[in-house]
């Protein structure tokens, strides 16, 4: 099963907790001071990290859905 990241940008505070957990999927654009999220199917090797990032989000702005 492959997963896709869905962000609720209304909830996201851009505190970058997700980037701390999984910088391969959640990048910080330092020039704009904003979060850039991987848009494709989450690679299987990063599934556990993506799940951890979603769980760590203090606002619950990250959801993982079937791709």
What does the domain layout of the chain look like in residue ranges? Answer: 3-66
pLDDT at residue 1 greater than cutoff 80: no
Express as a percent the part of the chain with pLDDT over 90.
Answer: 94
Mean pLDDT (the chain, rounded) = 96
Q: What is the pLDDT of residue 39?
A: 95
How far is CA 19 from each of CA 1, 10, 54, rounded to the nearest angstrom?
23, 18, 11
**CATH class entry, domain 3-66:** alpha beta
């Amino acid at each position: 099963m492959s997963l896709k990241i869905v962000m609720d940008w209304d909830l996201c505070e851009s505190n970058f907790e997700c980037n701390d957990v999984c910088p391969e999927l959640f990048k910080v654009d330092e020039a704009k001071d904003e979060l850039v999220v991987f848009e494709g199917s989450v690679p299987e090797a990063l599934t556990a990290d993506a799940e951890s990032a979603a769980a760590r989000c203090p606002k619950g702005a990250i959801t993982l859905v079937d791709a």
